[in-house]
Amino acid sequence: MWCESLSFMIRLLLLLIFPWSLFTLLLIIAVASFGGTIGIREFYVEKLIQLFEWGAKISNDYEYDEPPDPSSTPTSGKRRRRSSGDLRIILREKSDLIDSELRSTEEPEHRKTTVRTVVDDSIDFITAGIEVIIEDQVTSRFRAEELPSWNLLTRTSYSFQHINWKLSVLWICGFLFRYLVLVPFRIVLFILGMSLMCFVSYIVGYISDKKIKNFFCRHVMLASMRIFSRSFSSIIRFHDRENRAKKGGICVANHTSPIDVMLLSCDNSYAMVGQKQGGILGFIQDSLSKSADHIWFERSEVGDRKKVLQRLREHVEDETKLPILIFPEGTCINNTSVMMFKKGSFEVANTIYPMAIKYDSRLTDAFWNSQQQSYGEYMWRMMTSWAIICDIWYLPPMTREAGEDAIAFARRVKRAIAKKGGLVDLEWDGQLKRAKVSSRLVQLQQKLYYDRLARTTSINDLEEEMNALSVMESMDEKERESLIDQIHEGDDDKEIIRKVSKYGVDLHKLSEFLKAAGDAEARKP
């Protein structure tokens, strides 16, 4: 009897919930397709942040206001939660000092001796080395950005812990709400968005008129990506939209996550660039290519740099095609910094459209650590997160200056993106998370240090002295007497070295001349 009653209650509950759920789902799809909003996500996020701030206050009151138990030991009690502030182990003074000195171009009024400078710098290098061992600039960019406050996702160094009953109830309610309410809605939205994108793109591919085809392609992609963004409860704020790329060109942005493409494509349509895949991804690539000119490389072409650049250049020169979206870092960074931009895309076009992406880490961690998570695991984590809040800035188009090479141009664009997004500008290569430091980088640091010594010390004078000594040793007695006649009693050391060096150059030229004359005489019949 009770089973029949329970079954009746479940059917009645579904009958009451299903129509409203279906209506809400259709309303979200319709509004999202046209880029509108009814304010539910904004209200939801606002209340979430208020709730988290209240929870953080309770957590802090518990941790800092409760008197410690002197009899407790680290192993006998519960471990206390840590905030992200605890993760900053050191202040990297010497590392920053050395970096600024190596990249400075200022020359001192009075030069120090080379020995004294090297000894002083050695102490700084040792200290900087210890700082890097403790906490370096590179590996910390490939870890999730920790939060100083609790956000019900327990994104801390430890798993869930009981702090007090209020936060425990909040955590349980949040868990049930995310997995029983948000996730089902999001999965349905994601499947609908994917189906719409693939099916309509395939149909649009059969339209022969290019203008009509481009019109439908643009609006289908915008609608699909906006529905995708709703499947993560995304709130995207676009700034300076007048700087968007219109036709052709190359757009570059900092890279945090695979969903960067989705967020950027909610406001503009782009041509994708990547390696051709098989399976489901290959089917999606083929569907997209039916309606737009995306660039997919065969595996054999990826290593051929000339072919890649040629195909990119041909696409950019055609103004009827979509702008190309490229992430020059080549890997995902945790949205705290911008790392080295590869020069390839900056060799193709003289005008670049930069974009800066900055995520709000309070409600989710958008960073994808590809070494620890598969793509499927990452997408599931995003599906079960609270929401994605993101700011995107369109920077004014940047043009390569006269005499500026691709590397310098890439650095200038990277610097502008970092400044706009409030990110740290780093020169390190993001691929260092997968590979060892190359000898080229070591040689570059050595060259920077030698340039600093040449700029601030007497190391150049030492080299000139050695050259002058070598010239004197190569002379015979008659040549030395001729050189001494040119040196006056009032000449200082620098003037003497200059005259010796000049005399050595003149002797070398004379020797070469006499040798050439002798060879010519020997060749005469």
Split into its structural domains, the chain has a count of 2
Do the Cβ atoms of 361 and 147 come closer than 8 Å?
yes
Is residue 248 included in any domain, yes or no?
Answer: yes
Assess whether 370 and 513 both reside in one domain. no
pLDDT higher than 60, residue 150 = no
Residues 397 and 305 in one domain: yes
Taking alpha carbons only, the member of 132, 113, 93, 122 closest to residue 449 is: 122
Over residues 15-39, the mean pLDDT reads 69
Quote the longest CA-to-CA distance of the chain.
128
Does position 413 have pLDDT exceeding 50, yes or no? yes
**Residue 386 contacts residue 55 (beta carbons within 8 Å):** no
Same domain, 517 and 373: no
Whether residue 409 lies inside any domain: the answer is yes
Residues 271 and 385 in one domain: yes
Q: How confident is the model at residue 204 (pLDDT cuts 50, 70, 90)?
A: confident
**Does residue 498 share a domain with residue 393?**
no
Of 442, 473, 491, which residue sits at a domain end?
Answer: 442
Length of the chain: 525
Confidence category of residue 296, pLDDT binned at 50, 70, 90: confident
Whether residue 69 is predicted with pLDDT greater than 60 in this model: the reply is no
Verify that 392 and 499 share a domain, yes or no: no
The answer to the question of residue 317 being in a domain is yes
Whether residues 333 and 475 fall in one domain:
no
User: Predicted confidence band at 77 (pLDDT cuts at 50, 70, 90)?
Assistant: very low
pLDDT band for position 153 (cuts 50, 70, 90): low
| 274 belongs to a structural domain | yes
Rounded CA-CA distance 267/226 in Å is 9
Please write the tens of the pLDDT for every residue from 342-367: 888 898 888 899 999 999 888 888 88
Q: Which residues of 108-134 are buried (b: 16+ CB within 10 A; e: fewer)?
A: eeebeebeebeeebeeeeebbeebeee
381 and 478 belong to one structural domain: no
Amino acid at 164: N
Tokens of 56: 């953080």
Q: Does residue 398 register a pLDDT over 90?
A: yes
Q: Cβ contacts of residue 44 below 8 Å, gap of 6+?
A: 233, 387
Pair (437, 462) in one structural domain: no
Neighbours of 453 (CB within 10 A): 17
pLDDT digits (tens, 9 = 90+) for 165-180: 777 788 888 888 888 8
Asked if residue 327 belongs to a domain, the reply is yes
29/229: higher pLDDT: 229
The Cα-based distances of 306 to 163, 296, 310, 311, 505 in angstroms read 59, 15, 6, 9, 45
Which range of residues forms the domain containing residue 430?
A: 165-442
Which of the four pLDDT bands, split at 50, 70 and 90, describes residue 79? very low
Tokens of 484: 């001494």
Average pLDDT on 263-277 reads 85
Looking at the structure, tell me whether residues 307 and 415 fall in a common domain: yes
> Does residue 74 carry a pLDDT above 50?
no
Identify whether residues 392 and 248 lie together within a single domain.
Answer: yes
Of 442, 469, 501, the one marking the end of a domain is 442
Structural domain includes residue 245: yes
What amino acid occupies position 108? P
**Is residue 291 located within the same domain as residue 384?**
yes
